[in-house]
Amino acid sequence: MKIGTHEVWPPVVLAPMAGITNIGFRRLCREQGGGMFVSEMITSRALVERVPLTFQMIRFGEGETPRSIQLYGVDPVVIGKAARMVAEEGLADHIDLNFGCPVPKVTRRGGGSALPYKRNLLRAILRAAVVNAGALPVTMKMRKGIDDDHLTYLEAGRIAAEEGVAAVALHARTARQHYGGAADWDAIRRLKEAVTEIPVLGNGDIWSADDALRMVAETGCDGVVVGRGCLGRPWLFRDLDAAFRGSPERARPALGEVGDMMLRHAELLCEVVGSERHGLADFRKHVGWYLKGFTVGAETRRALTSVVTLAEMAERLGELDREQPWPDEADGPRGKSGERDKVALPHGWLDDPDDTTVPGADAEDATSGG
């Protein structure tokens, strides 16, 4: 799969996830297999204003290539300035734009997955990003639309191709679905049929490498985007590498190997933040994902979420039954789930899809998703 001048093999992209896809987690995944690994989402306004935390979030590891950054914004002028900064200051090799976030505090201000409904504003944002990024490829990630009555993905995909976007990725859910229900892979197929000039990537309900192969076979998409499927399962990238090479080999680690991976992940997080205490606090949310399906007592789980040193964590992990085999129930959904009753939108948002009024700066909330 080609993203601009970048050859991506296997045709797999790690989806940006807030609080997850930092430099440590990306390195862990890259150690397992190839692909494109995208940073946590950052707001274009924070980048332009040079917020120190933002620059920490877009650090890349030695040898990490292509360096991929996801920007989020609602203002063509600010997005353009951010794209120019990335290009001129050599901050990354690839820019992805987020139009998939379904979080209410974003959509109620006209951002995230609400924005593509305003097709001319979407076009202006994409044009500003592509023009100012220069030689850097710009891609976009989106959802099907606001809800089943306001689908935007086919028109948004055509606009993206017309404006020089290098690839489009579709999370095959609406904003109303949030992370619930089933992803509509038929929508990915329809987008691929409608947008033939550039690669189309599919996202949604890829929990295993075989899911990825099935998505490509059923939809004709050029590649896949993996988000929640790799939570607590970084070896999924090893499986994906094997699957796209035609190998039937799949990782089914026993609990001991899972524990080793947990310790490696924790070590990388501690290295990223520069503190064992804070790195291990950040790791707590991963514990349940790694241990899903395994028989591990509640006391041990609690202990693993309260350790304050790597030595203590290693000691606790050493208490696990290393020979316990991979359980059948370990696969399947992890992370956020559930649908919304309705999508929070600005007053009158649906009245005029051609309106180009730029949402206020408060729509650029630093909440990732999509």
Can you give the length of the chain in residues? 370
Q: The tokens of 14 are what?
A: 């790690």
* Nearest C-alpha neighbor of 19 from the set 231, 282, 364: 282
Strands 150-151 and 167-171: unpaired
Active site residue 221: no
Number of other residues whose CB lies within 10 A of the CB of residue 32: 19
Do residues 42 and 18 lie in contact, with contact meaning Cβ atoms separated by under 8 Å?
A: no
Task: List residues bridging with 12 in a β-sheet.
Answer: 224
* H-type alpha helices, 245-362: 255-273, 276-291, 298-304, 310-317
64-68-70-71 Cα dihedral, nearest 10 degrees: 110
DSSP 188-227: HHHHHHH--SS-EEEES---SHHHHHHHHHHH--SEEEES
Q: How buried is 89 (Cβ within 10 angstroms: 0-12 exposed, 13-18 middle, 19+ buried)?
A: exposed
* Nearest C-alpha neighbor of 124 from the set 135, 113, 132: 132
Annotated catalytic residue within 29, 101, 221, 270: 101
Catalytic residues: 101
